[in-house]
Structure 1
Amino acid sequence: MNQQRQDLYLNLIEELLRCPNGQEPEVLDNHQDLLDAELIKMMMQVATMLAHENNQDAAKFLIHVARQLAKNLGLYPQLENSTPVNS
């Protein structure tokens, strides 16, 4: 990933953290070109950093958005037909 793309990811993450509650889908829709696995990876890295800075709410929010985005992009495993394991 080049520095320019990394900066675009960080700008998008900052925009998501600052946008009013409920407007996240609109923000993501405005940046379709950045929605990929690398963005999700960057979101998780920023969430980890936020957690280490004792900003738990922002970290949880970013993880939630990353998880939803991963599901929408087909990158999150679906366990619909899983069978419970009996010990």
Structure 2
Amino acid sequence: MDEQRSQAYLALIQELLECPGGEEPDILNRHLELVDGGFVQVCEWVAVQLQEVGQENQGVFCRKALCL
């Protein structure tokens, strides 16, 4: 996975974390080119990182984003 793709995944995750509830499917649909195995890996990595620093809710959200 190249750096540019990783940054795109992280930007998408940040957008999902900051969006109003219920807009997640629309955001994912606008970025379907990023919804792949690499995105799943980065979501899991971000979820672990968030939970390690005490941001449990956001970590759980990242894992749920994989199911949308």
Is the shorter-chain TM-score for this pair beyond 0.5, marking a shared fold?
yes
Which stretches in structure 2 are left out of the alignment for 5+ residues?
none
- What is the aligned-residue RMSD (CA, Å)? 0.7
Which stretches in structure 1 are left out of the alignment for 5+ residues?
70-87
Shift of residue 65, structure 1, vs aligned partner? 1.1
What amino acid is aligned across from residue 47 of structure 2 in structure 1? A
- Identity fraction in percent: 35
Question: TM-score, with normalisation over the residues of structure 2?
Answer: 0.96
- Residues 7-59 of structure 1 show CA distances to partners (whole Å, capped at 9, x for unaligned) of 00000000000000000000001101001011000000000000001000000
More helix as a share of residues: 2
CA distance in 1, matches of 2:59, 2:22: 17
**Does residue 13 of structure 1 match 2:16?**
no
Shift of residue 2, structure 1, vs aligned partner? 0.5
CA distance in 1, matches of 2:7, 2:65: 19
Larger Rg: 1
CA distance in 2, matches of 1:63, 1:46: 9
